[in-house]
Each structure stands twice: as structure tokens, then as C-alpha cells.
Amino acid sequence: MKIELARIDDRFIHGQVLTKWVKLKPITRIIIVSDSVAKDEMRKTLILSVAPANVKASAVSVDKMVRAYNSPRYDKDNVMLLFECPEDILNLVEKGVPISEVNVGGMRFERDRQQITKAVSVSPDNVTAFNKLNELGIELELRQLPGDTKLDFYKELKTKINK
């Protein structure tokens, strides 16, 4: 399995993913990696129903993703991993799945979150996970669309959180 893109976007599969990101690289499979989505059949069905017809799509738990990554069955797949939060990425990396770069695309605003950009708001737990990912040397880039200027998300995060 070749991980072409690891992206945090709590909307998962939507217009930007379908029209821009999937066409950027030779994606053959979209995998939503989320324990909460994997165990919610209705939510999983709704999310996967909008996947493009020419790309396989699945929603799996972090543990199942670790097994899939290590399975020879998926050796020829070029995948886009979609995450809801940085905690799931950290969990996956700590379990041995190599991710060197994460695109931070969208994390909606909620009551316990601090807004970092128009599209990204973070909770204290998110900040802790981003700090650990940064310590592991994982590049955290901020871009909504592939054509946007690539920004250092971690630098942006530290600027906003330390105010």
C-alpha cells in the first residue's frame, strides 16, 4: 500500500476531495480512518455513498487500518487516508504505519475549540496530538485545495495557541 495523501477533513468525502485531491495523485482507494465512523453503520454508509465510482472507498478503525497496511492484499493500492482528527493519525503512526506528511484541510468549529484558520479549529486534545506529530517529524501542511499555497500548519497553530 502506498499512502499518496493523509488528510484531516472532518467532512471526509466532498466536492474538494472528489474534484481536486483524488485527481492530484493516482488514487485507487479512499480509506476513512476513524473509530467513531467505523462503528456507526448509518454514518459510514452516508459518507461512503458519495465516493467516486472509479475509486474504492472504505471506512475502518485505526486497528483495522494497521492490519490493512500490513496486508499484502493491498500492496498495489495507492490510497488517500482521510481522518477526522489528529489523534487518529497519531494512534496510527504509533502503531507502525509510516506517515511523513499530513494535509490539514478542515476541522469544524465547536464550543471547546479555538479557531486557527477559517477552516480549522482545534481542541486541547487536538493540540496535544499535533504537538506529538510534530515531535515525530511529521510535516503538517495547511491547504484547502492542491493549488493553494502550502503553509506550515504547525507554525500557524503555535502562533494562534500562544496568544
User: Per-domain residue ranges for the chain?
Assistant: 2-161
Rounded to whole angstroms, the Cα distance separating 75 from 145 reads 28
Rounded to whole angstroms, the Cα distance separating 157 from 117 reads 9
pLDDT tens-digit series, residues 5-39: 999 998 777 666 666 777 778 889 999 999 999 99
Q: Tell me how far CA of residue 150 lies from CA of 15, 74, 142, 161, in angstroms.
A: 20, 30, 6, 20
Does position 129 have pLDDT exceeding 80, yes or no?
yes
Does position 88 have pLDDT exceeding 60, yes or no?
yes
Res. 80 pLDDT band, cuts 50 70 90: very high
Which cell numbers hold the place of 126?
Answer: 487536538
Rounded to whole angstroms, the Cα distance separating 44 from 158 reads 33
Catalytic residues: 14
What's this model's pTM, rounded to 2 decimal places? 0.90
Q: Could you give the 3-state DSSP secondary structure of residue 136?
A: coil
Rounded to whole angstroms, the Cα distance separating 4 from 29 reads 10
What CATH number has the domain spanning 2-161? 3.40.35.10
Rounded to whole angstroms, the Cα distance separating 131 from 58 reads 28
